Every structure is written in structure tokens, then in C-alpha cells.
């Protein structure tokens, strides 16, 4: 996969999460919302590689073929910038606090309407959302 693939997948998953939320499928919406941020972060990582391809080196692979959003921010080289922006933007910081605990195993959990709406808002907010922040860097 390359950078554009991850960007496209993030946008597709945003629509999927929104559709699931509207249909009352809160657990699926929650899971896909976090997954789209993972895709966005992997687009940022791919941007750093030759021809924007996802890294083939085994050491790099071990650091980026993960589902931990905080570790992916670090692997993308965005940790310092992100922390500074969290300090400057209270809304982004609030959204990150909702999102940071998402994990791949969220797919095995059950989430209510409020949790699903909160994570979707944290990602989709057009001014302060995490996806907005990522899309300026991918």
C-alpha cells in the first residue's frame, strides 16, 4: 500500500463510520472511527518513504505495522508537533483524550451511542478534529 491508498481508505472509513452511526450500529462506528485515524497516520508514515511507499525494512515494519495510535504518531515523526498542537488547541486535546484509548481490539467491544458519537466527533470536526490535523500532514 502507498500513501494515497491510506488516504483514500481513511476517507472511505470516515463515510463508513458516519453511515454506521446513523444506522445505530454504534460499536462498528466506534471501531471504524479509530481505524481511519490509524490509516491517516500510516499515510503520514508512507509520506516519509521513497515514492511514498509503505516501508519494506523489517525494523521499520515492526514500528509501523501496529495499531497503537500513540506509537504511530511517534513513528510518523509527528510526536513533537502533535504535543505542541495539543497544548495550543484545547479542543484538539479534548478530542485526543477521547480517541487515544482506541485499540484494534475495540472491534470485540460493545459501545453505546454516546461513545460512538464522541469518537466520531473527535475525528470528524472540520476545524479541530484529529483527521483534519492529520490531513494537513499526509
pTM for the model: 0.87
Predicted confidence (pLDDT) per residue in 84-94, tens digit: 999 999 999 99
**Does residue 112 come out as left (phi exceeding 0), alpha (psi in the -120 to 50 range) or beta?**
beta
Contact between 134 and 44 (Cβ < 8 Å): yes
Predicted confidence (pLDDT) per residue in 64-105, tens digit: 677 899 999 999 999 999 999 999 999 999 999 999 989 999
Domain that includes residue 116, residue range:
3-135
Q: Which residues are CB-contacts of 50 (< 8 A; sequence separation ≥ 6)? A: none
- What is the number of structural domains in the chain? 1
Predicted confidence (pLDDT) per residue in 2-40, tens digit: 899 999 999 999 999 999 999 999 999 999 999 999 999
Cα distances (Å, whole numbers) of residue 47 to 41, 43, 63, 130: 10, 6, 15, 18
We report the CATH number of the domain holding residue 22 as: 1.20.120
Amino acid at each position: 500500500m502507498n500513501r494515497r491508498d491510506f488516504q483514500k481508505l481513511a476517507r472511505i472509513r470516515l463515510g463508513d463510520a458516519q453511515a454506521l452511526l446513523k444506522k445505530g450500529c454504534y460499536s462498528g462506528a466506534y471501531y471504524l472511527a479509530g481505524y481511519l485515524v490509524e490509516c491517516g497516520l500510516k499515510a503520514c508514515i508512507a509520506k516519509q518513504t521513497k515514492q511514498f511507499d509503505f516501508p519494506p525494512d523489517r525494523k521499520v515494519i515492526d514500528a509501523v505495522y501496529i495499531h497503537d495510535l500513540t506509537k504511530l504518531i511517534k513513528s510518523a515523526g509527528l510526536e513533537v508537533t502533535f504535543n505542541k498542537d495539543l497544548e495550543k488547541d484545547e479542543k484538539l486535546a479534548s478530542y485526543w483524550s477521547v480517541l487515544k484509548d482506541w485499540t484494534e481490539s475495540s472491534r470485540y467491544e460493545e459501545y453505546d451511542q454516546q461513545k460512538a458519537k464522541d469518537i466520531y466527533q473527535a475525528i470528524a470536526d472540520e476545524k479541530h478534529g484529529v483527521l483534519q490535523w492529520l490531513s494537513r500532514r499526509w
